[in-house]
Homo-oligomer: A and B are copies of this chain.
Amino acid sequence: MANVLTPQGEDFPRWYQDVVAKAQLAENGPARGSQVIRPTGFALWERMTAEMDARIKDTGTENASFPLLIPESYFRREADHVEGFAPEVWMVTQGGGKDLEEKLAIRPTSETIIGEYMAKWVNSYRDLPLLLNQWCNVMRYEMRTRLFLRSSEFLWQEGHTVHESYEDAHAFTLRILHDVYADFMENVLALPVLRGIKTEAERFAGALNTFACDALMRDGKALQMGTSHELGQKFAKAFDIQFQGKDGKQAHGWTTSWGTSTRMIGGLIMGHGDDAGLRVPPNLAPVQVSVMIVKDSDEVRAAARKLYDELKADGLRVKLDDRGDIAFGRRAVDAELKGYPVRIELGPRDLKNGEATVVSRVEGSKQSVPLGMIAEAVAAALAGAQQQLWDEALGFREAHTVDVASVDEAVEAARTGYARMPWDACGVEGEARAGQSAVTVRLLQREDGSVPDSLDESGLIAYLARQY
């Protein structure tokens, strides 16, 4: 096939740009760092939101919608929060042709405005836990932007909850990390993720603790895929979220917040893509199977339509490509670019033999299959593709994770992936030193790979890497 993309090995960032453009996923918008997400890219996001939303609702969380614009004064109420976000804010100063009395920030995140309303809605322990989520757009002013990965506007979900106790809030923060985020990323996106706690330098502005899922991209750089924050009572005190407890006394609530965004599309591209384009895991894929006519004829069209209808009736997500006026080769390259897991190619010769050709994008296999057995062949190809993407990504991560003993070694190892070392041997000072070489501590785990409850635990293990 023609080389439509810069090979990954030649220039990975260029390959990424090429894929995003040629698979028609997204383009730059007119305002600095904004993005236009095209139908092929947006279909990925729709599938992500559907899968994530079901998992979020399974935790008892309900969706709501809060305003885009937040009075500047709200930010000032939590000191660390304003310090973290003030430089990133886009500001509305005019409305209806006049200057506004108070400037309004376009939400960079909504802890403040949601905190304001939670304070009204929470009165008694009976109102708790209060579990809210919203799917929306947010904006952060960015100097250097890259589509999906770092954009001034992005789409995301942000969950915000209030709990009766530290224990409840803590458990919920981790439930989101494991049962919603990691479960989705591993079982749907087929991306193995490290789960752990962020260092003080990397935690969310205003949080007590930030927990994260982190994935390794095929260029050896790490991508933060999602974060879940334990906010302690800091926002509850700043916004006066109080409730009457079972003991009749007033107490401040314990809040959490957690988010994942269109950035995950970037993770999908760079975690699985190859020199021919995207490789979309079947459990996510908006198009799991593309039924393609090779050459146009009434018989081929009819047979393709029949296959399409049958596979659709089986509950698969199927696309019918019967565009006879576009050369088959061009359409096949496009299908590879867009990463459809399975293609069924149907031409006059196949049809004469009572067969179709089943092509697996991931396994790279091509087989002639009798028309009556297509459903089984497709099911097997989809299951195989999901497993292979997972195996490859996990194998890649294992092959690109190196145990080291010093920060210098970590910086060296981070050229190709994760460096793993005792946090005691790195520490805040080592973290700052690694940062000078653009290497950051991605997260800390316990020695057995489990997630620490806080930074106070001893014997923690640090993962360092270059990051997106």
**Shortest Cβ distance from A91 into chain B, in angstroms?**
4
Partner of A36, one of B42, B65, B86, B91: B65
Partner of A69, one of B34, B38, B74, B93: B34
Q: A96: CB under 8 A from chain B? A: yes
Q: Are A94 and B93 in contact (CB under 8 A)?
A: yes
A63-B43 in contact given A27-B117, A69-B153, A87-B97 (Cβ < 8 Å) = yes
12 pairs, CB–CB < 8 Å, chain A vs chain B: A27-B117, A27-B120, A29-B66, A29-B113, A30-B116, A38-B64, A39-B132, A45-B65, A89-B95, A95-B141, A106-B106, A136-B137
Q: Which of A1-43 contact B (CB under 8 A)?
A: 27, 29-32, 34-39, 42-43
Q: For the complex, what is the distance from the CA of A113 to the CA of B152, rounded to whole Å?
A: 17
A46-B69 in contact given A31-B104, A95-B32, A97-B87 (Cβ < 8 Å) = no
Q: Are B153 and A68 in contact (CB under 8 A)?
A: yes
Q: Are B96 and A88 in contact (CB under 8 A)?
A: yes
For A42, what are the chain B residues with a Cβ–Cβ distance below 8 Å? 62-65
Contact indicator per residue, chain A 146-162, by CB within 8 Å of chain B (1) or not (0): 00000011010000000
Q: For the complex, what is the distance from the CA of A232 to the CA of B74, rounded to whole Å?
A: 45
Q: Which of A50-87 contact B (CB under 8 A)?
A: 62-71, 74, 86-87
Q: Which of A118-175 contact B (CB under 8 A)?
A: 120, 126, 132, 136-137, 139, 141, 143, 152-153, 155
Q: Are A71 and B31 in contact (CB under 8 A)?
A: yes
A91-B93 in contact given A67-B34, A325-B126 (Cβ < 8 Å) = yes
Q: Are A67 and B153 in contact (CB under 8 A)?
A: yes
Q: Are B36 and A64 in contact (CB under 8 A)?
A: yes
**Shortest Cβ distance from A376 into chain B, in angstroms?**
28
Partner of A67, one of B36, B63, B103, B143: B36
Q: Is the interface of A mostly helix, strand, loop or mixed?
A: mixed
Q: Are B71 and A30 in contact (CB under 8 A)?
A: yes
Q: For the complex, what is the distance from the CA of A106 to the CA of B105, rounded to whole Å?
A: 12
Q: For the complex, what is the distance from the CA of A69 to the CA of B152, rounded to whole Å?
A: 11
Q: For the complex, what is the distance from the CA of A325 to the CA of B325, rounded to whole Å?
A: 67
Q: A328: CB under 8 A from chain B? A: no
Q: Are A113 and B30 in contact (CB under 8 A)?
A: yes
For A27, what are the chain B residues with a Cβ–Cβ distance below 8 Å? 117, 120
**Shortest Cβ distance from A21 into chain B, in angstroms?**
12
Total interface residues in chain A, CB < 8 Å:
57
For A396, what are the chain B residues with a Cβ–Cβ distance below 8 Å? none
For A92, what are the chain B residues with a Cβ–Cβ distance below 8 Å? 90-93, 106
Residue of B nearest to A90 (CB): B95
**Shortest Cβ distance from A156 into chain B, in angstroms?**
12
For A152, what are the chain B residues with a Cβ–Cβ distance below 8 Å? 95
**Shortest Cβ distance from A53 into chain B, in angstroms?**
9
Interface centre among A36, A43, A71 (most CB of B within 10 A): A36
Interface centre among A29, A65, A88, A92 (most CB of B within 10 A): A65
**Shortest Cβ distance from A39 into chain B, in angstroms?**
4
Q: For the complex, what is the distance from the CA of A27 to the CA of B42, rounded to whole Å?
A: 31
Q: Which of A296-340 contact B (CB under 8 A)?
A: 325-326
Partner of A37, one of B65, B91, B93: B65
Q: Are A87 and B96 in contact (CB under 8 A)?
A: yes
Partner of A74, one of B30, B63, B71: B30
A70-B30 in contact given A90-B92, A90-B95 (Cβ < 8 Å) = yes
**Shortest Cβ distance from A72 into chain B, in angstroms?**
11
Contact indicator per residue, chain A 348-384, by CB within 8 Å of chain B (1) or not (0): 0000000000000000000000000000000000000
